[in-house]
Amino acid sequence: MRFAEARALLEKHGQEHLLEFYPSLDRSRQRALLRHIDAIDFHLMTRLIDQWVLHEPPPEEFSRIEPVPLIPKASANPHAAEAIEAGEEALRQGRVGLFLVAGGQGTRLGFAGPKGAYPIGPVSSKSLFEFHAEKIHNLQARYGCTLPWYIMTSEANHDDTRRFFSQNGHFGLDPANIMFFNQRMVPCVDMRGKFMLSAPDRLASNPNGHGGCIPALVETGALQDARNRGVDMFSYFQVDNWAVKVADPYFIGIHVQRGAEMSSKNHRKNHARESVGVHCLCDGVYHVIEYTELDLYPQLLETKSNGTPLHAAGNPAIHILSAGFIERVYNDYDHFPWHRAHKKIPYVDRNGKLVEPNAPNGYKFETFVFDALRFIRHEPVAVEIERPGEYTPIKEYDGDNSVLAAWRCMNEYWAEWLEAAGSPVPRDANGNVTIKLEISPQFALTKEEFIQKARPRGAGKKWPTHHHLAIGPHGQLINQ
């Protein structure tokens, strides 16, 4: 794109301020700025600014909102064994790919680097990526299969993510089975709907939300790669859910048995205002209403007589997506709703100096993967799960969905495994575990597996729980 073209286009859309620094830039930075301007989807942005910034869009209207019917968790389902068998068969046949979305900016955690590089191991300081990789090692060994791992990144963290994996030897996984690919970016706007610059030659922009995984899978060739390997379904998970059970056989099995297009796990909400999206049936169609939009639908905040939420199905963002469904829903992506978030967006001032605002100063726009639910043609699948051992989202360091909360939850979870395997764990007067615990998911993914593998240590041989304890991938003690 040439300067004159860029200026004409920007003037037409009232965005010519983007060229403010152009005359002072050297040639390569001028070219970079023109490239950014050329990449803007003006058709989309005009619509978003008009609908979401210049006007307050009316919420989607539903005449009926009902709780979703949930398939019971494995421990409460008399047919669980058949479902698990079906899931295990799909794994053995190599039909399952892993799909990790890791393109987010992780602003609330404020960690310098990709969120997946966060050293979550309470004793070992192993990263989130390493924990997920160890789960893959376990499953590949158990089912004698290859689980190709598709990792969606964004401009903001693609290079750092790839570097982190290669610096860590891809955590022992074969790099030929790991594919990184980028999602698209969307410009941010200020409160008047004007684009912003994050540097004199660069637009302030954000990744287009986890819903951006649909076009990204198709357009980068990741889906085709999976198809070529015989994969026909993806186990979708998010990088910041440390505990997530990737490629859970029970969940896969139910998806397979029902011929589902998209399946979702659900956990019981603790209280009506909890910061988690709510799965519900809106006029008979599956939806997730984000917690930021709960006030638009007061019935979602209603409680039963015992005080528990009427709409209790929280969305932990764990799905199975069939390859055929992704191919089809790709054609519907233009009809996905966009969501607006009011955020602190760093920008350059008139002197070209970067300003880090201390209050929200603009909007970013995103699409969400769960908005694919409305395009499902077969009956969707919603499965209940227990939160411990499945859902520990890490959004901040402290608070509800935080590093500290995840550590507490996993400490208690792993303490039960140790106790069940005959190694008492020290607890205080309130019953809280007083040491830090960590068990590699490569060594054991479930309590049953842990007990079985722990037994060869011999009768009377206990794990040394007098001090912090980390059990490594091969059952070895680490970082004592």
Q: Cβ 213 to ligand UTP, closest distance in Å?
A: 7
Query: How many whole angstroms separate alpha carbon 269 and alpha carbon 67?
Result: 12
Query: Is residue 77 a contact partner of residue 71, using CB atoms and an 8 Å limit?
Result: yes
Q: For ligand UTP, which is the closer residue by CB, 213 or 454?
A: 213
Cβ closest to ligand UTP, residue 151 vs residue 410? 151
Q: Which of 77, 105, 220, 270 binds ligand UTP (CB under 6 A)?
A: 105
Place of tokens 């240590």: 457
Residue 154 beta carbon to ligand UTP: minimum distance, rounded to whole angstroms: 6
Q: Which two tokens stand for residue 386?
A: 């227990």
Is 261 an interacting residue with respect to ligand UTP (CB under 6 A)? no
Report in angstroms how near the CB of residue 161 gets to ligand UTP at its nearest. 10
Binding of residue 115 to ligand UTP (CB under 6 A):
yes
- Between the two ends of the chain, the Cα-to-Cα distance in Å is 59
Return phi, psi of residue 135, to 5°: -65, -40
Which CB sits closer to ligand UTP, 205 or 442?
205
Cβ atoms of residues 102 and 154 within 8 Å: no
Nearer to ligand UTP, 146 or 266 (CB): 266
Under the binding rule (CB under 6 A), the answer on residue 279 touching ligand UTP is no
Q: Pick the binder of ligand UTP from 209, 309, 314, 441 (CB under 6 A).
A: 209
Q: Which two tokens stand for residue 255?
A: 């998806």
What is the nearest approach in angstroms of ligand UTP to the Cβ of residue 50?
Answer: 22
Is 107 a binder of ligand UTP (CB under 6 A)?
yes
Minimum CB separation of residue 465 from ligand UTP in Å reads 33
Q: What character string, x for contact with ligand UTP (CB under 6 A) and - otherwise, covers 212-251?
A: x-------------------------xxx-----------
Using CB under 6 A, which of the segments 40-48, 104-112, 290-298, 323-331 binds ligand UTP? 104-112
Q: Which two tokens stand for residue 460?
A: 């009377």
User: Can you list the alpha helix ranges (DSSP code H) found in 39-191?
Assistant: 42-49, 80-92, 128-143, 158-167
**Distance between CA atoms of residues 251 and 320, nearest Å:** 8
Q: How many residues bind ligand UTP (CB under 6 A)?
A: 21
Distance set, CA 86 to CA 95, 322, 364, 402 (Å): 12, 15, 41, 35
Q: Whose structure tokens read 């019935």?
A: 299
Site mask for ligand UTP (CB under 6 A), range 349-388, x = bound: -----------------x----------------------
DSSP 3-state helix, strand, coil percentages of the chain (rounded to 5)? 35, 20, 40
Residue of minimal Cβ distance to ligand UTP? 104
Q: Is 108 among the residues that bind ligand UTP (CB under 6 A)?
A: yes
Any long-range contacts for 75-80 (C-beta under 8 Å, 24+ apart)?
75/386, 76/384, 80/250
Q: Is 102 in the site for ligand UTP (CB under 6 A)?
A: yes
For residues 458 and 446, is the Cβ–Cβ distance under 8 A?
Answer: no
CB nearer to ligand UTP: pick between 277 and 473: 277
Task: Using CB under 6 A, pick the residue from 104, 122, 187, 362 that binds ligand UTP.
Answer: 104
How many angstroms separate the Cα of 378 from the Cα of each of 262, 322, 373, 374, 437?
Answer: 9, 12, 10, 11, 43
Of 202-210, 226-234, 306-314, 458-466: span binding ligand UTP (CB under 6 A): 202-210
CA distance 204 to 362: 10
Regarding 77 and contact with ligand UTP (CB under 6 A), the answer is no
Q: Is 210 in the site for ligand UTP (CB under 6 A)?
A: yes
Q: Which residues bind ligand UTP (CB under 6 A)?
A: 101-108, 115, 152, 183, 207-210, 212, 238-240, 366, 395
